[in-house]
């Protein structure tokens, strides 16, 4: 392989600006896939990803491109996940590249993720090549968007290719641009091996398949290797290139190349994203920079509706974890819900994806508890505990200081919406940092905001209040002292552990009231009156009452409306099928889930 003919690049974009569509076109144009074999959006591998239109895991493909100068280039296109939850993975993929193609929608112009991804690419010193996409749209205004790219990002953009990925217009200009402006990789093929892992995938037959970029040295078949962070040692069984429709084994991969290897690796935990692969015989002195262990931001309890399915849930989580080192779980039990798992996620989207996969791919009916962030509690005896489950919250008397995680939040929107955005951020206990005009029709607002406020549908509310125009990006910054309280819910005097939550004192009251109301609305009447109470420590802060049944229920159906009466009785019968006992109170599972649902 001739290093000078290699080009490693990513495509970066705001969601929906056309990254996946352009990837398809580039693959097509390089003739790597026959038209009829071309499955739409090859890089988005899983069904779920395709349905949701997002890319969950990073992937890479090698393309051979015969350029107009007559030379054939090896292009490695590295796909990056498109969501803020996966920002670390994105950063490792970018570290494997020399360049990035920045796709901007010719009608929408620059949006929050356009900037966020561009900044990430700049941090890795990538050569950024803007491309204006969707020029076929009636609302397209490529000249305005190019100007915006120059004004806002400061990139030379007048010569940027104007394309339509969908219609296949001007795609070759993108490849020519990459070949002539993205630098070839360097790195000495004879130096001790340093290869950067940017993804891995579990395969039932071959074990873990590791995706990497060789930064220095050479990877060879049969070579003993070591993962520098995890310390795990293996022998390379196979290495090769990643083609759009499969893998192509080869003898060796030299510095600058992107590829895969297998080595009978049992667990993706031993092939962490960002770790450095080196040789056992001639190890590198130090690892590549930027490695960070995966960090869960959001936790929730996951239970099966049918308690006897607990072992199935464990098997399913273990299977998912084979492929997802950032998913963590450990057993927990709840008086209300039985046996389940406390699961940690990178963010809310990651959480939703896992829940959905458990339900779809493993056919499980789940009950999940309210999501929570990790609180940091310093106890009066000086010990520090990290609490991700309200159940483990220390007694008030044992707490010296309670702290919650804060995130740096960046919102980009047209100035017209600032009046809607700022009160929302204030309401979420955001601390205003600054606001700047990116140009006359785009402002960027910075807040410091508790992570716990962001995970509660902040993104959806923001979108709703700005007609979808605002975009959000955030990253965890630090822990700050906070007035936290643990709220317990009591039904007929019995505490329901699955409904406890930790919140800021200010937020505890409205949330407690809301939960009590929802319980009242969703729990069917019992033979006796049931008080619902929310309490902090022993002090009741909200209450509702479910009146006794059953005469009352039927009494409401006056006169001859027999069908209504029948329906009601049937409903009650149905409800009896799946009941959960919470102390002395029976609750249909459905009602329970309705209460736990965020709103």
Query: What are the residues binding ligand GDP (CB under 6 A)?
Result: 13, 15-21, 53, 82, 133-134, 136-137, 164-166
Q: How far apart are CA 86 and CA 544, in angstroms?
A: 41
SS3 569: helix
Nearer CB in complex with ligand GDP: 10/372: 10
278 lies in the binding site for Mg ion (CB under 5 A): no
Q: Give the nearest distance from C-beta 19 to ligand GDP in angstroms.
A: 3
Q: Between residues 55 and 133, which has the closer beta carbon with respect to Mg ion? A: 55
Residue 18 vs 452, nearer CB to Mg ion: 18
By rule CB under 5 A, what count of residues binds Mg ion?
2
Instruction: CB nearer to Mg ion: give 12 or 179.
Output: 12
Tell how far CA 88 is from the center of its chain: 10
Minimum Å gap between C-beta 18 and ligand GDP is 3
Closer residue to ligand GDP (CB): 116 or 223: 116
The option from ligand GDP, Mg ion, none interacting with 133 (CB < 5 to 8 A, set by class) reads ligand GDP
Least spacing, CB of residue 137 vs Mg ion, in Å: 18
- The option from ligand GDP, Mg ion, none interacting with 78 (CB < 5 to 8 A, set by class) reads none
| Distance of alpha carbon 268 from alpha carbon 272, whole angstroms | 7
134 binds, among ligand GDP, Mg ion, none (CB under 5 to 8 A by kind): ligand GDP
What does the H/E/C string look like for 518-531? HHHHHCCCCCCCEE
Of 499, 496, 500, 581, which Cα lies nearest the Cα of 307? 581
Cβ atoms of 447 and 434 within 8 Å: the answer is no
Beta carbon nearer to ligand GDP, 10 or 164 = 164
Look-up of token digits 């988005």: 44
The DSSP annotation for 310-333 comes to HHHHHHHHHHHHHT-TT-EEEEEE
- Evaluate whether 96 touches 258 at the Cβ level (below 8 Å): yes
Candidates 203, 270, 290; CA nearest to 238 is 203
Opening angle at CA 70, ends 66 and 76, nearest 5: 35
Positions in 1-40 near Mg ion (CB under 5 A): 20
Q: Nearer to ligand GDP by C-beta: 166 or 314?
A: 166
Nearer to Mg ion, 93 or 321 (CB): 93
Shortest reach from residue 7's CB to ligand GDP, in Å: 21
Which partner in ligand GDP, Mg ion, none is near 18 (CB below 5 to 8 A by kind)?
A: ligand GDP
Kindly state the DSSP code that residue 117 receives in the 8-state scheme: H
- Least distance (Å) between residue 506 CB and ligand GDP: 37
What are the start-end ranges of the H helices in 53-136? 87-95, 112-123
| Shortest Cβ 217–Mg ion spacing (Å) | 33
Residue 15 binding: pick among Mg ion, ligand GDP, none (C-beta 5-8 Å cut-off by kind): ligand GDP
Look at residue 58 and give the partner it binds from Mg ion, ligand GDP, none, a contact being a CB closer than 5 to 8 Å depending on partner kind.
Answer: none
Crossing angle of helices 348-361 and 310-322, in 10° steps, is 120
Closer residue to ligand GDP (CB): 53 or 423: 53
332 CB contacts (<8 Å, ≥6 apart)? 301, 339, 340, 341, 342, 389, 391
CA atoms within 13 A on the CB side of 416: 7
Is 369 exposed, middle or buried (CB count within 10 Å of its CB: 0-12, 13-18, 19+)? buried
Tell me which residue of 432, 394, 380 sits closest to 411, measured CA to CA.
432
**Residue among 56 and 327 whose Cβ is closer to Mg ion:** 56
Return the number of the residue (20 or 372) whose C-beta is nearest Mg ion.
Answer: 20
CB of 153 to ligand GDP, least distance (A): 17
Least Å from the CB of residue 163 to ligand GDP = 7
Pair of tokens at residue 61: 């493909």
Question: In the complex, what is the shortest distance from the CB of residue 381 to ligand GDP, in angstroms, rounded to a whole number?
Answer: 51
User: What's the closest the beta carbon of residue 101 comes to Mg ion, in angstroms?
Assistant: 14
Site string for Mg ion, 46-65 (x = CB under 5 A): ---------x----------
Minimum distance between the CB of residue 148 and ligand GDP, rounded to whole angstroms?
18
Please give, one letter per residue, the 3-state secondary structure of 464-483: HHCCCCCEEEEEEEEEEECC
Q: Which does 137 bind (CB under 5 to 8 A by kind): ligand GDP, Mg ion, none?
A: ligand GDP
Q: Residue 222: name its binding partner from Mg ion, ligand GDP, none (Cβ under 5 to 8 Å by kind).
A: none
Q: What is the CA radius of gyration of the chain?
A: 27
How far, in Å, are 70, 177, 257 from residue 1 at the CA level? 17, 22, 9
Residue whose CB is nearest to Mg ion in the complex, by number: 20
Q: How far, in whole angstroms, is CA 290 from its chain's centroid? A: 20
The pattern of x and - marking residues 183 through 222 that bind Mg ion according to CB under 5 A reads ----------------------------------------
136 binds, among ligand GDP, Mg ion, none (CB under 5 to 8 A by kind): ligand GDP
User: In 10 A of CB 444, how many CB atoms?
Assistant: 18
Residues that bind Mg ion (CB under 5 A): 20, 55
């Amino acid at each position: 392989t001739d290093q000078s003919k290699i080009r490693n690049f990513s495509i970066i974009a705001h969601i929906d600006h056309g990254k996946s569509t352009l990837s398809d076109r580039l693959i097509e144009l390089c003739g790597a896939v026959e038209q009829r074999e071309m499955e739409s959006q090859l890089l988005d591998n899983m069904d779920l990803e395709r349905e949701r239109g997002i890319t969950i895991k990073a992937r890479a493909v090698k393309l051979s491109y015969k350029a107009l100068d007559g030379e054939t280039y090896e292009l490695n296109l590295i796909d990056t996940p498109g969501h803020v939850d996966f920002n670390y993975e994105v950063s490792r993929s970018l570290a494997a590249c020399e360049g990035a193609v920045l796709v901007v929608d010719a009608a929408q112009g620059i949006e929050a993720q356009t900037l966020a991804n561009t900044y990430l690419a700049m941090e890795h010193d990538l050569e950024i090549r803007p491309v204006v996409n969707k020029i076929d749209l009636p609302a397209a205004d490529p000249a305005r968007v190019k100007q915006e790219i120059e004004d806002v990002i400061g990139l030379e953009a007048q010569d940027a290719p104007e394309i339509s990925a969908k219609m296949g217009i001007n795609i070759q200009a993108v490849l020519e641009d990459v070949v002539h402006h993205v630098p070839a990789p360097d790195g000495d093929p004879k130096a001790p091996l340093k290869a950067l892992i940017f993804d891995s995938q579990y395969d039932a037959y071959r074990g873990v398949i590791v995706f990497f970029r060789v930064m220095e040295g050479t990877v060879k078949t049969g070579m003993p290797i070591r993962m520098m962070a995890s310390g795990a040692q293996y022998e390379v069984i196979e290495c090769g290139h990643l083609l759009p429709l499969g893998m192509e084994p080869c003898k060796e991969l030299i510095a600058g190349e992107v590829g895969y290897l297998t080595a009978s690796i049992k667990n993706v935990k031993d092939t962490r994203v960002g770790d450095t692969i080196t040789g056992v015989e001639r190890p590198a002195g130090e690892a590549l920079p930027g490695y960070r262990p995966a960090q869960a931001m959001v936790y929730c309890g996951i239970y099966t509706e049918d308690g006897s399915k607990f072992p199935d849930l464990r098997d399913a989580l273990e299977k998912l974890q084979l492929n997802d080192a950032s998913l963590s779980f450990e057993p927990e039990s709840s008086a209300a819900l039985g046996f389940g798992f406390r699961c940690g996620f990178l963010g809310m989207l990651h959480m939703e994806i896992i829940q959905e996969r458990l339900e779809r791919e493993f056919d499980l009916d789940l009950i999940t508890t309210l999501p929570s962030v990790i609180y940091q509690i310093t106890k009066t005896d000086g010990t520090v505990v990290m609490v991700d489950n309200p159940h483990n919250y220390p007694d008030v008397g044992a707490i010296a200081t309670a702290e919650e995680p804060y995130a740096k939040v960046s919102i980009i929107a047209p100035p017209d919406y600032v009046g809607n955005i700022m009160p929302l951020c204030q309401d979420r206990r955001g601390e205003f940092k600054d606001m700047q005009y990116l140009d006359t029709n785009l402002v960027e607002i910075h807040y410091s905001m508790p992570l716990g406020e962001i995970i509660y549908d902040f993104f959806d509310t923001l979108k709703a209040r700005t007609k979808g125009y605002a975009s959000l990006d955030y990253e965890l910054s630090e822990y700050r002292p906070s007035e936290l309280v643990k709220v317990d819910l009591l039904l007929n005097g019995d505490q329901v552990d699955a409904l406890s939550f930790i919140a800021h004192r200010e937020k505890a009251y409205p949330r407690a009231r809301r939960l009590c109301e929802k319980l009242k609305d969703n729990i069917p009447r019992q033979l006796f009156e049931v008080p619902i109470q929310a309490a902090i420590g022993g002090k009741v802060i909200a209450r509702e009452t479910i009146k006794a049944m059953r005469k009352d229920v039927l009494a409401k159906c006056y006169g001859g409306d027999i069908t209504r009466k029948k329906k009601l009785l049937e409903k009650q019968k149905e409800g009896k099928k799946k009941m959960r006992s919470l102390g002395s109170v029976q609750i249909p599972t459905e009602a329970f889930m309705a209460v736990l649902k965020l709103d």
